[in-house]
Structure 1
Amino acid sequence: MNVNDFSVVDLFCGIGGLTHGFIKEKFKVDAGIDFDETCKYAFEKNNKSKFFHEDITTLTSEELVSKYTEGKRKILVGCAPCQPFSIYNQKGGKNTKDKLKLKNEKWKLLYSFANLIDEVEPEIISMENVPLLLTFDKGKVFKDFVKRLKDKNYFVTYHIVNAQDYGVPQRRKRLILFGSKHGEVKLIEKTIKKDNYVTVKDAIGHLPPVEDGIAHPKDSIHVARKLTPLNKKRIQASKQGGTWQDWDESLWLECHKKDSGKNFKSVYGRMKWDDVAPTMTTYCIGLSNGRFGHPEQDRAITLREAALIQSFPNNYKFVDPKKEVSNNVIARQIGNAVPVGLGVVVAKSIKNHIKELESN
């Protein structure tokens, strides 16, 4: 038994961060499935795999099975979108109605994932998500998911990992779960020690400088959002790793003058060359949305820089030259992606598991 005996399908595949990690480890990914059709070009162009625009909540087991290579053993992986946790965390579930909506509607994707596992019973599965899944609503959603797997005789293991420990130039904590019919899948050991993290400079320091709002002539996504004159002054007053508190008070926002706003130190901040980046989000090119300022240049990071911080290769193609796509759409795709480096972690862990099975 080896990786060539298996066929992989990636649910919630997006632009292919998880899939690309599997391809780097020589797995055959036959299909990616996602409700966001804008991801089709990047997924197929970079992974030589078929993209299916499908709603996971209505996808049947027969349709899923048809995506695999006939006669191959099945691996199912996926990262169910984690917006439910983010919304709840940020808004606090304003009232009972909001909380019920979150609990009854937003979990559909994870439960749909479990339903497909129930019906198809792939030999190996992996699910990636936010750590808050372990504790949200006293862990009910996560416990339900694990119980469904164990009821189908899967050996389940899970871990909280930080992407920076595996060569991704970013602080990004994630929950990685494995299930196998054959025994426990062991997470690979950390590949990077604390004093040797891949830094922002390692990741993006080689790129040519650009002005805000002007794309590099040889790379259309090496472009940063145009700043207002006021925000230009703010970034010019910002130090590496600093906060808005470094500014003259004339540059402060109204919220900065209130006690409640003094805790939000990362917004409008610059990254540091010699440190890892903060977690990339769907708003990662917005200066006001986090510490997304370039360490030296007076602008927020570009789409290409965000992609590199998400550990996508330099040559990863995001934009169909025949179509016009907004930068906000590309930022959403990049921010939502599983970093390729974490995709490699998942794939290597499963590959090692398969090798163990082969030797037993």
Structure 2
Amino acid sequence: MSYGFHAHPGFSLVGAADVEVGKPSTGHGAIGCNATYAANIGIKPLGVDLSAITPAELSDAILPGQSEIDVLLACPPCTGFSRAISRNYVEDDPRNSLVATVADFAAALKPKLIMMENVPQLINGNFRHHFIAFKEKLEELGYSVAARAYRLDNFGLPQQRERAIIIAAKQRSMLRTLDDLWAGYRIAPGATTVRRAISGLPAIEAGGTAPNDPNHTCPALSGDSLMRITAMPHDGGSWPDLLGDATTEKYLIPSMWKAVSRGRLNAYCDVYGRMSWDRPAPTVKRECSHVGNGRYAHPEQDRQCTVRELAILQGFPADYRFVGNSRKNLYRQVGDAVPPLVSYQLAHVANWVLTGTRPNIEHVLLPKTHLTASDLEAYDSDPTQLALV
């Protein structure tokens, strides 16, 4: 979320905080994302649990002498709201309370604008009361709040990603959204495919690293894992394609046969699957470091997509640096991120609100991503007509 504002000439990042938790069991600092943040933005975030620090303490730590800020960017964990986790249908994750806590930080920091990104279930799921509490607190502070869930491929992301965007402004007359930014325009459909985004990257072997890009790297595959991927058809193939042939069925693992016996091929077919060249990528999730966790295999090369490929599909510029000793954590940093391609557009929305000047639509495309001005089309209808309600 920060990088989109860092890349915009109208903003300067003045402070950040992230506890760097990869999984609750790994403890604070494990994922190492603050080092990557510092390498690209030039600010070392405070490694602190925002549920364990007061707004005044945070302000003193990262904003000494700062009387007010223009924009507060807040992205609480989405894990407790995501429909991909079955327990979220019945259990309210304690981390979900961080959503309403953002309003407490807003009361202390007094930003003119607040922007938040999360999964759609934050605003329409079983535990949306956290969003309602957040919204009501902000309204008591005098903010107007707009919340909507979108398909981010509508804004040029080469990925099927659905996310809620919440924007709060001190004055209702100031409130603008992505709908306003894109009114009258859209991204050409062919600009959001896997082919368009990553086909130009150099080929590498499983376990390899490109000599001129340490982030164009992927884990090694061997034995049945390698043979399973090799046997799958190029361009969208998956493990069900191995059924019916004894020479390839031997590569199916027990969970695959279990899915066959239950007639649940559609629910499980993305595991070990290849991406399709001429479609947007599937949702890039935090555990995207292994082909067994989703449709993360390259469309034709016999390997997992690299950190760089998934980062590009996640809307990062081609020269963004992911740093750390654990390749798995680099993948997690990619999957956990707000796509910078979209946060750059949000920065333009914020600048419009603060200056009153609507940006030229050609200027909202993040440099060094796959998008160019030729991908823009005039459109006489709402470009977000496919937004989730």
TM-score range, shorter chain: 0.7 to 0.9
Structure 1 residues 181-212: Cα deviation after superposition (integer angstroms, max 9, x where no partner): 12222322176436233221222112111111
Alpha-carbon RMSD: 2.2
Q: Is there any run of 5+ residues in structure 2 with no aligned partner, and where? A: 21-28, 243-247, 359-389
* 1:50 Cα deviation after fit: 3.8
Aligned to 1:3: none
- Whether 1:337 aligns to 2:321 is no
Residue from 99, 102, 119 that aligns with 1:113: 102
Number of aligned residue pairs: 330
TM-score, length-scaled by structure 1: 0.85
How far, CA to CA, are the matches of 2:240 and 2:337 in structure 1? 32
Query: 1-side partners of 2:256 and 2:67: how far apart?
Result: 61
Any residues of structure 2 matched to 1:228-247 within 5 Å, and which?
228-239=222-233, 240-247=235-242
> Shift of residue 294 of structure 1?
0.3
- Residue matched to 2:12: 28
- CA offset digits 1:165-187 (Å, max 9, x no partner): 12221111110001111222232
CA 1:255–1:19 in 2, change beyond 3 Å: closer, same or farther? same
Q: Which residue of 1 aligns with 2:308?
A: 304
Query: Superposed, which structure 2 residues align to 1:23-102 within 5 Å?
Result: 23-26=6-9, 27-36=11-20, 37=29, 38-66=32-60, 67-68=62-63, 70-71=66-67, 73-86=69-82, 89-92=84-87, 99=91, 102=92
Deviation (angstroms), 1:299: 0.5
Equivalent position to 2:132, from 137, 143, 153: 143
Provide Cα deviations, 1:269-327, integer angstroms capped at 9, x if missing partner: 111122211111112231111111101100110111111111212211112xxxx6111
- Aligned CA distance change for structure 1 residues 60 and 316 (closer, same or farther; 3 Å): same
Aligned partner of 1:282: which letter?
A: R
- SS where residue 107 of structure 1 aligns? helix
Over 3 Å counting, the alpha-carbon distance change for 1:338 and 1:134 in structure 2 is: same
Q: Does the residue aligned with 1:268 lie in a helix, a strand or coil?
A: coil
Is the counterpart of residue 185 in structure 1 residue 176 in structure 2? yes
| Contact preservation (8 Å) 2:35, 2:44 | no
Q: Which amino acid aligns with 1:60?
A: T
Please state how far the C-alpha of 1:93 moved relative to its aligned partner: 5.5
Query: Larger deviation: 124-133 or 235-244?
Result: 235-244
Q: Distance in 2 between matches of 1:304 and 1:292?
A: 13
Mark the CA change 1:314 to 1:133 in structure 2 (over 3 Å): closer, same or farther. Answer: same
In the TM superposition, 1:202-213 aligns within 5 A as: 202-213=196-207
Is residue 259 of structure 1 aligned with residue 262 of structure 2?
yes
C-alpha distance in 2, partners of 1:64/1:340?
A: 25
Instruction: Classify 1:72/1:134 alpha carbon distance in 2 versus 1 (closer, same or farther; 3 Å).
Output: closer
Residue in structure 2 matched with residue 275 of structure 1 by the alignment = 279
CA deviation string 1:109-155 (max 9, x = no partner): 22322221233332210111100112333621111111111111101
Which SS does the other structure have where 1:53 is aligned?
A: coil
Contact 2:8/2:348 (CA < 8 Å) preserved in 1? Answer: yes
Q: Which runs of 5+ in 1 are unaligned?
A: 1-17
Output the CA distance in 2 between the equivalents of 1:73 and 1:214. Answer: 44
TM-score, with length taken from structure 2: 0.79
